[in-house]
Each structure stands twice: as structure tokens, then as C-alpha cells.
Structure 1
Amino acid sequence: MRCEELLAYLSDYIDNEISGDLTAAAQVHLATCENCRVVLNTTQKAIFLVHTYGTRTIPAQRRQNLWNQLENALARKKASGELDGEA
């Protein structure tokens, strides 16, 4: 399994809603890919926080700034080759 595949199934993986074969492939990939482990752990923590504290409205300017920061970070990762397949 490649990073892109894992990310496509991440929500279903977290919810235990994928087949045994996909679960096994995801676990093998996660054992060797630090980037995907970070994404998984961060996503699980975000889900926990939303369930624990609920949602709040973020002011539009702050939301746009956050979005821009995320897009810039992703562009840097892509430019450095960190997202080009399995780690």
C-alpha cells in the first residue's frame, strides 16, 4: 500500500470499516511509514478533541490564515519529495 491509498481509506480504517486485507495492508504500511503514522495519530486526536469539546466557529480571517499555512506546508512537502510514495 502507498501513502495515497492509505489516506484514501484512512477514515474507514479508523472506523474499522474496511476489509481484513485492506486493514492488514494498512498496518504493514503504517509500520514502515512515519508520515502516515503521524497523519493517523493526528487524525485520531482531532476526532477525540471534537467529540470531547465539540465544534466552535473560527473567524473567517483566522480560518483563511490556517488554510494558507496548511497549503504552504503541503507544497513544501511535495517540493521536497516527502510525499512521493512510500516512506
Structure 2
Amino acid sequence: MATGWAKDGAEQEQIDATVNDGIARARRNLHRGPSLSRCEECDAPIPLARQRAVPGVRLCIACQEAADQAGEAGALYNRRGSKDSQLR
């Protein structure tokens, strides 16, 4: 229940916005076009099974894991802030 300065339903709006941001981020990270046979970061060969499983793949597994970990660090930051942080 929203109280104070927040309007009714503000919590659900924040949840919806967070979910929509996550969906938009996932869509931006989708691969497009043909898969590469060699990693664009380290030039390691990309196995044919990975090329078939992930259409448009551009990175080998090791480089993809590193890119995923680097992307997770920024995803933990809540840009909207909580109501408590706005009252300080």
C-alpha cells in the first residue's frame, strides 16, 4: 500500500518498470545475423554446436561469460531508488 507522497499503485508501477527494463535489456542483447565461426574478441573457434544453438553468436563461451559478468555489475543498480532513499 502506497502512503505518504506516493500515489496508490506506485509499488506496482515500479515493479512493472523494472520488469520492462529487464526485458528491454535482454532484447538489446539478442544476437542478429549469421553466427561467426571465430570469436570476435579472442579469435578462438566457436564450435558448430554453439553456432546452431545460439543464432547470431559472436563470442566464444569464455568471452560470453566475461561479458555477462561485466553486464551484471551495472544491472544491480536501482536507478529509480526506493521511497526510503528519496526521503533522505
Regarding TM over 0.5, the answer is no
**1 or 2, which has the higher helix percentage?**
1
TM-score normalised by the chain length of structure 2: 0.34
TM-score normalised by the chain length of structure 1: 0.35
